[in-house]
Chain A
Amino acid sequence: MSDVMAEVVLMLTEVVGEDFLLDVEVGPATTFGDDLALESIEFVALVDRLRGHYGDRVDFPRFIAALDLDQIMNLTVGDVVGHIESAIREEAHA
């Protein structure tokens, strides 16, 4: 598991509770809607933690603004991890 993946899973655990995540094997293909059954307000809380952790290095508001709620709930954990990793890579090359 990549560092970013591990960090995202840790933040997910904080948002939804460890008991629930123990029942679900979280991988890059895990969706927030169907697999994790995240409520939309919980995704807000997750984005909040991501913003707190990665700060301005990752532009989450723009990432979210480009999607509607259904598209957000269809996102996979891998989509979010990929977005973070590419933003960090771009920053390193800037």
Chain B
Amino acid sequence: MPEVTARGVRFHVQTMDPVGHAPAADLRDGAGPGRRAAQGPPVVVFVHGLVIDNLSSFYYTLAGPVAAAGARSVLYDLRGHGRTERPSAGYGAAEAVRDLFAVLDALGHRGPVHLVANSWGGVVALNAALARPSRVAGLVLIEAYGPSERPGAWIEDLLNTLGRSALLLEHERVAERYRALGWRRGARMAATADALINGTSLLDDLAVAEPVGPAALASVACPVLAVYGQHSDVMDAGRLLLRTVPGCTLHVMAGYAHTVLREGTAELLEVLLPWLAHHAGTRVPVAGGAR
């Protein structure tokens, strides 16, 4: 299994090599640090969501087509998730940002990269762009948490859901019951969720996490593509991004809720690939080429 050790944690990483090479002359973005990445193909890093999510949600959806368009797709499992090691602490946004850059350092990607993030991954990506603007050339935020004008209440629903799951997993012994029924996949997912929610500082770290407010959002220097489902619970974050981030484009996917990555992959690619072509210098997809 490909892995790198960063900040003392073994991270599972996957890289998809670019198909062909985007010539430097194709880099049309004159505004962001992306234009400095004229040597070599652009690097696009995927940041997944919480608990039962892992890099596979990008591996089977966006990462392949992005590599096919000429970028190097880099995927990693966040600490405690997927096949990455699960330390007992360090699950806050600031730690996740340090993890991200440490993983990129370990892989030798020290230049500016584009970050594509889903759900909680958006908190990580947005904070990464604010913490190290010279290393983030662009952000694609899919159903992203993070932007909010309401500190203290911005992830209330998420924390309530995770809190209920914590009780259920611990007291109802969900993993054991699934295992007894022969439901291997359910049992493994429940065991992973139980170990992460009840066995680490994840919930405590999330409870003290701060949102990114309007003033900080106004200082985001790189271009941002925000994609939200029409019926999403997090839609306010998308509207706030559009209102405050200078270089933000908002795409609302009609008929979808929070699961646009899995359920709306084709439409997502139709928006993402031309945006990356413009800002990262990947190839413009041929019409009908995205699935």
Describe A's contact surface by its main secondary structure. helix
Residues in chain A near residue B68, CB distance under 8 A: 65
Find the A residue at minimum CB distance from B183.
A37
Q: Is there an interface contact between A69 and B60, defined as CB atoms closer than 8 Å? A: yes
Max count, chain A CB within 10 A of own CB: residue among B2, B60, B188: B60
Interchain nearest-CB distance for A24 vs B (Å): 10
Q: How many residues of chain A have a CB within 8 Å of chain B?
A: 18
* Total contacts A-B at CB 8 Å: 50
**Which one of B51-59, B112-120, B199-207 is at the interface?**
B51-59
Interchain nearest-CB distance for A8 vs B (Å): 17
Q: Is there an interface contact between B60 and A61, defined as CB atoms closer than 8 Å? A: no
Find the A residue at minimum CB distance from B59.
A44
Interchain nearest-CB distance for B46 vs A (Å): 12
A40 at the interface (CB under 8 A from B): yes
Provided the pairs A40-B56, A41-B54 are in contact, do residues A68 and B265 lie with their beta carbons within 8 angstroms? yes
- B residues lining the A interface (CB < 8 Å): 1-2, 14, 16-17, 54-57, 59-61, 64-65, 67-68, 77, 82-83, 183-185, 188-189, 262, 265, 291
Q: A40-B59, A65-B65 are in contact. List 5 more A-B contacts (CB 8 A).
A: A38-B185, A39-B188, A40-B56, A44-B55, A68-B291
